[in-house]
Chains A and B, each alone.
Chain A
Amino acid sequence: QQQVKQSPQSLIVQKGGISIINCAYENTAFDYFPWYQQFPGKGPALLIAIRPDVSEKKEGRFTISFNKSAKQFSLHIMDSQPGDSATYFCAAKNEQTGTASKLTFGTGTRLQVTL
């Protein structure tokens, strides 16, 4: 019940295109869904996050779409740029337990944006 399934494993998008990465979760107690961006040799960095009280959150070219009934959420990168080439991880956690609540990460999507 703690799994977060992420797809695709890798993605190649042309510059200016839309990159879409999908995640699905099982644990209905999850209430915080962040996306992390990781460049080679660096640690993951928080990109954008959503809570289930909204169905969409947009920050610049990055949008999270959230479907609570389907237990799915996705990251859309509009106008993809070569500088967006990185590995993206979705994650989920339960913030309301009042005790240790660990982030459960997906397996990652390696995005390559070509010229």
Chain B
Amino acid sequence: EAGVAQSPRYKIIEKRQSVAFWCNPISGHATLYWYQQILGQGPKLLIQFQNNGVVDDSQLPKDRFSAERLKGVDSTLKIQPAKLEDSAVYLCASSKDYRWAGDNEQFFGPGTRLTVL
């Protein structure tokens, strides 16, 4: 079974530029998550999708961050414009269905390391 795929793996941009990350979850997984992991901290959930709908985006800085999962499979996360404090690893994860307590392990991709100069 293929894991969660993410691209690019690394990205360096100047502040105020735009950047986009792509995620392909495990086949058949209905729930997709985007996390931000700042160096030395645990992952923080930015947004959670169930199929193509948003379930939780309470911690997404909506003035600059956006995300979509139009067909309920792949997802993109965009930052526009980027700030220095956005430097972090952006992790994508997927699970079968967040509503299934007891059988909802989250599988993480390798992440995209973003450096904003």
Could you list which residues of chain A lie within 8 angstroms of chain B, going by C-beta atoms? 4, 6, 32, 41-46, 89, 91, 95-96, 98-103, 105-108
The A contact surface, by secondary structure, is: loop
- B contacts with A: majority SS: loop
Take A102-B48, A103-B106 as given contacts and tell me if A43 and B99 are in contact as well, using a CB distance cutoff of 8 Å: no
Q: Output the nearest chain B residue to A51 by Cβ-Cβ distance.
A: B102
Which residue of chain B has its CB nearest to the CB of A106?
B42
In the bound assembly, the distance between CA atoms of A72 and B6 in angstroms comes to 34
A8 to B58, CA, bound (A): 29
Contact of B44 among A44, A96, A105 (CB under 8 A): A105
Interface contact A43-B101, CB-CB below 8 Å: no
Contact B106 A46 (CB under 8 A): yes
**Contact at A100–B98, with CB atoms within 8 Å?**
yes
User: When chains A and B are docked, how far (Å) is the Cα of A99 from the Cα of B11?
Assistant: 34
Q: A43-B4, A43-B108 are in contact. Are A105 and B101 (CB under 8 A)?
A: no
* Interface contact A102-B56, CB-CB below 8 Å: yes
